[in-house]
């Protein structure tokens, strides 16, 4: 069975041992509820019917917040996993782009095809493919490369093919079904579609809009946070799939003010970091400080005693959360 980029396992290597001062910062699972909302993300199960933008707007209205953003548009007729970021957590939506997505798709063939031939063609569509967006797409109709990580048939019944597809963000499933039909010489179309994964967000852990509305109302009326903490996840959930660099307390505030990360601030680093890759910079308490671009690979970061190892892309943590040691 194939895996998405978000499911690749990494090792963590420590440059030295350090401890974090309990007076500053806070473990993500212990944030006050107001902070959880400001830095929260919801693994929402979008229903069929509304647009992704409408669903995002409903979440904003339910929570009475100024800003929400969603992680990957789903067409109105498609249901499934739609991460919704709240307030400052919207800064990390870009981190879901390289994570990969999974769909369960019902494809209907226009003629009967031998099963062995169908399976052979499905294998041919695994790997790098070329797609031209459909006429109704909201992007330019130029040919683009997309990665198909796996296509796994779940059930084949006559002309109906139920399959699980893991693919790169921006892959058009309707076009994929059409192209498979062309390769088979019989024609095909997408009948139904549901998204089951967006990076670290999975269908089995998703919640419905009503769950969110009920949990928020219960907190407002009774002060009980338990249900709301189940439906609003810490922003760190959205970067679980990214390689991480852990920094000491003294480096955090400089990063919050937009500084690049220098080698002396690094405590630990994950494997498989390449130059130019998107990384999550974390505190020793597991808080997300920022998204950054690596300018050294894992081996170089481990060996470096000085020099810049990563440059900021999106700062998430507010300045002043940790003490300002960088001006001393």
Which residues does the annotation mark as catalytic?
A: 75
Burial 129-150 (b: 16+ CB within 10 A, else e): bebebeeeeeeeeeebebbbbb
Using the Cα atoms of residue 165, residue 169, residue 175 and residue 176 in order, give the sign of their dihedral: negative
173 close to 189: Cβ distance less than 8 angstroms? no
- Crossing angle for the helix pair 209-222 and 52-63, nearest 10 degrees? 10
Would you state the structure tokens that stand for residue 85, as one six-digit string? Answer: 């970021």
Three-class secondary structure of residue 210 per DSSP: helix
Q: Return the number of other C-beta atoms located less than 10 Å from residue 310's C-beta.
A: 28
Report the alpha-carbon distance of residue 54 to residue 255 in Å, rounded: 35
Report the alpha-carbon distance of residue 96 to residue 240 in Å, rounded: 10
316 close to 19: Cβ distance less than 8 angstroms? no
Would you state the structure tokens that stand for residue 110, as one six-digit string? Answer: 């226009």
Residue tagged 């680093």 (tokens): 269
Report the alpha-carbon distance of residue 226 to residue 219 in Å, rounded: 8
Would you state the structure tokens that stand for residue 184, as one six-digit string? Answer: 């088979």
Name, in order, each residue with C-beta under 8 angstroms of 184's C-beta and a sequence gap of 6 or more. 109, 113, 117, 118, 121
């Amino acid at each position: 069975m194939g895996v998405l980029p978000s499911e690749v396992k990494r090792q963590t290597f420590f440059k030295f041992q350090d401890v974090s001062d309990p007076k500053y910062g806070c473990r993500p699972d212990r944030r006050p509820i107001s902070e959880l909302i400001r830095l929260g993300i919801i693994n929402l199960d979008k229903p069929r019917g509304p647009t992704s933008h409408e669903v995002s707007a409903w979440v904003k209205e339910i929570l009475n917040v100024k800003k929400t953003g969603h992680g990957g548009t789903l067409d109105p007729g498609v249901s499934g996993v739609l991460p919704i970021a709240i307030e400052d957590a919207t800064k990390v939506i870009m981190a879901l782009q390289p994570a990969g997505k999974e769909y369960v798709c019902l494809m209907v063939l226009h003629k009967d095809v031998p099963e062995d031939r169908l399976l052979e063609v499905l294998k041919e569509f695994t790997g790098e493919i070329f797609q031209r967006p459909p006429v109704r797409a909201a992007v330019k109709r130029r040919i683009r490369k997309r990665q198909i990580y796996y296509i796994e048939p779940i059930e084949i019944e006559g002309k109906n093919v139920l399959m699980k597809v893991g693919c790169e963000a921006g892959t058009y499933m309707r076009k994929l079904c059409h192209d498979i039909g062309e390769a088979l010489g019989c024609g095909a179309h997408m009948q139904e579609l549901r998204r089951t994964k967006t990076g670290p967000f999975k269908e089995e852990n998703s919640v419905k809009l009503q769950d969110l509305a009920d949990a928020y109302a219960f907190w407002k009326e009774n002060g009980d946070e338990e249900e709301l903490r189940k439906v609003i996840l810490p922003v760190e959930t959205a970067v679980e799939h990214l390689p991480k660099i852990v920094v000491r307390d003294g480096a955090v505030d400089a990063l919050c003010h937009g500084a690049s990360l220098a080698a002396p601030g690094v405590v630990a680093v994950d494997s498989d970091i390449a130059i130019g890759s998107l990384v999550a910079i974390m505190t020793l308490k597991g808080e997300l400080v920022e998204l950054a671009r690596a300018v050294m690979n894992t081996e170089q970061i481990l060996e470096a005693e000085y020099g810049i190892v990563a440059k900021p892309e999106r700062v998430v943590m507010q300045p002043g959360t940790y003490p300002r040691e960088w001006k001393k």
